[in-house]
Amino acid sequence: MGALAAMSGLAGCAQPSKRSADSASSASDSTSQNWLGSEPTISDDSISDTKTADVVVVGAGTGGLFAACAAAESNASVIVLEKGDAPGAVKDDLGAVNSALQKEDGTVIDKDAMSLDMYRYSNGHMNLSLFNRWYESSAETIDWYTNLLKTKNVTMWHEAAIGDVEGSMPHWATGHSPAWPEDNSLSGGKVLSEYATQHNAQILYSTPMVKLVTENGKVTGVIAKDENGAYIKCSASKGVVIACGGYASNKDMIKALQPDVDKMRSSTWAPTSNSGDGIKACLWAGAAMDPVHSAMFFDRCAVAPTDVSGVDTKGSQFWMGSQPWLKVNLNGERFTNEGTGVYDWILHAALNQPNNTYCSVFDSNWKTYAQQFVMHGCSRLYPFENGAPSNHDIPFAEQQLNTLIDKGIAVKADTIAELAGALNIPADTFTATVSRYNDCYAQGKDADFGKESYRLSKLDTPPYYGVRQAGSLLCTLDGIRINEKCQALKEDGTVIEGLYVTGNDSGCYFDTSYPNQATGLACGRTVTFGRQIGKELAQA
């Protein structure tokens, strides 16, 4: 069986701030950068070719391909515009509820309880009608994908982790992941793009969108540049679907909308194609954007013992970073509950610490503790209760740790004092912190920050290990305001006809953080909404 892929990959909204051209310019004035710019003016005589379809999809990635497949299999004519020269990455770890796989292993998720939990995570910004639609439609999407993968001899797994057994932070066992062949002969992008073209969808690669076409307030198509740099116009009789992946690789947008991101990250996993094209095109067409801007971070970035967190520091992947080891600031002090399971909370907490940087420390018993911690989602290093493999396992983590040590990024020491010296933190303070933490472990109670007893670990068996840590940016999560049908909304809440948005270009779902307590929440809503949009447009 192949290894799972490494990345995971989800009523009205709160009253938004304006994200029209004027307000976007205002937001960027603080950084002296007008990230939105002006909508390009392209005359009719500049158009070299015109194409027509029922549905035009912008982006051949996670959301776009699910939308294209759904529309095409329902006999709609489909054109997909992809700026890259191949299908984009289709993420794994897809969140769903009541799938056939979940029914097989007896997983039951209470809708009301999960809805309330997600509403709390979003501070009320989540459109609960969107949550309801995901909850009610995700099983059909995942079951469809599972059956498609079976035709390729690829197994879909449900990650049936119990999660936080003491219940302080509920884990929702929603994750589904394909076990791809180890030879990389198949991927989600390959399987879905082939399926779409087999159903007569036309995918135009190296064809980036330039702008949307509007007529009397309705979106009727897209102007793009073909592989030769010529303008083409793709008209859509039923609708345009925007699925471009957000703006994690647009430095100007990040600085203007999420300035703390650059303090927390020392690596970025997002592809360069995630440059905000879809969001900007929607804003030019009159759509409104989320009032709160959000990003998905992993606490799995290691920096050298002399470096600190920040966009100017080059970091390395450290998959064990999400494990709830003892974590201390650069003064050698413990500063938070490391066991929350929400990957970016430790990064947010570190913003209040020296140089936004912290250290994870553990001893030679780390393999035993990693199993005791009962992690879920892509942070888990052991198989799930139903036999589903973890994204990465203990041998992978050990090899990565040894590589980081060889490179002088992670450190290894025979004593706690030596470990402090190698990490360049005060030995006396750090030694006292370790002693206090060991006492908490012995007592089975974290009297300082309330971490669950099963996520405590003791540092008493050399050699000892330590890593300075920062964050890895995966994607942005804020986008265009949408209703339960994924139609783009104006500032006054009215619909922009003909314009649909899914994935990281869409909003009304997250606030500041990514609640990975529900594995695959972001990718799950992306594929579910993409499929629902495609089906409904085909039937329109």
Element holding 79 (H helix, E strand): strand 78-81
pLDDT at 167: 55
Q: Where are the alpha helices (DSSP H) in 340-411?
A: 345-350, 366-372, 394-406
Q: Which CATH architecture has domain 295-473?
A: Alpha-Beta Complex (3.90)
CATH class of 21-292+477-539: alpha beta
Residue with tokens 């009541």: 98
What confidence score (pLDDT) does residue 386 get? 87
- Going by C-beta distance under 8 Å and a sequence separation of 6 or more, which residues neighbour residue 349? 335, 336
SS3 516: coil
Would you kindly state where each structural domain of the chain is located, as residue ranges?
21-292+477-539, 295-473
Beta bridge partners of 202: 79
For a pLDDT cut of 90, what percent of the chain falls above it?
88
The number of CA neighbours under 13 Å toward the Cβ of 292 is 16
Lowest mean pLDDT segment, chosen from 155-169, 408-422, 442-456:
155-169
User: 24-38, 46-60, 141-155, 208-222: which has the minimum mean pLDDT?
Assistant: 24-38
What is the 8-class DSSP label of residue 294?
-
* Conformation bin of residue 398: beta by default, left when phi > 0, alpha when psi is -120 to 50: alpha
Determine the pLDDT at residue 341. 81
State how far the Cα of 14 lies from the Cα of 124, in Å rounded to an integer: 7
Beta strands per DSSP E along 269-357: 295-303, 316-317, 326-329
Of residues 28 and 70, more confidently modeled: 70
User: Is 287 in a helix, a strand, or coil?
Assistant: coil
pLDDT in tens, 446-497: 999 999 999 999 999 999 999 999 999 999 999 999 999 999 999 999 999 9
Query: Model pTM?
Result: 0.92
What count of other Cβ atoms lies within 10 Å of the Cβ of residue 112? Answer: 7
Q: How far apart are CA 448 and CA 474, in angstroms?
A: 31
| Radius of gyration of the chain from its Cα atoms, rounded to whole angstroms | 24
pLDDT in tens, 77-97: 999 999 999 999 999 999 999
Indicate if the pLDDT at residue 5 is higher than 60. no
Is the pLDDT at 28 greater than 70, yes or no? no
CA pair distance 390, 442, nearest whole angstrom? 30
Beta strands 231-242 and 209-215 are unpaired
* H or E element that contains 379: none
CA distances from 120 to 31, 126, 289, 343 (A): 31, 9, 21, 17
Contact 352, 402 (CB under 8 A): no
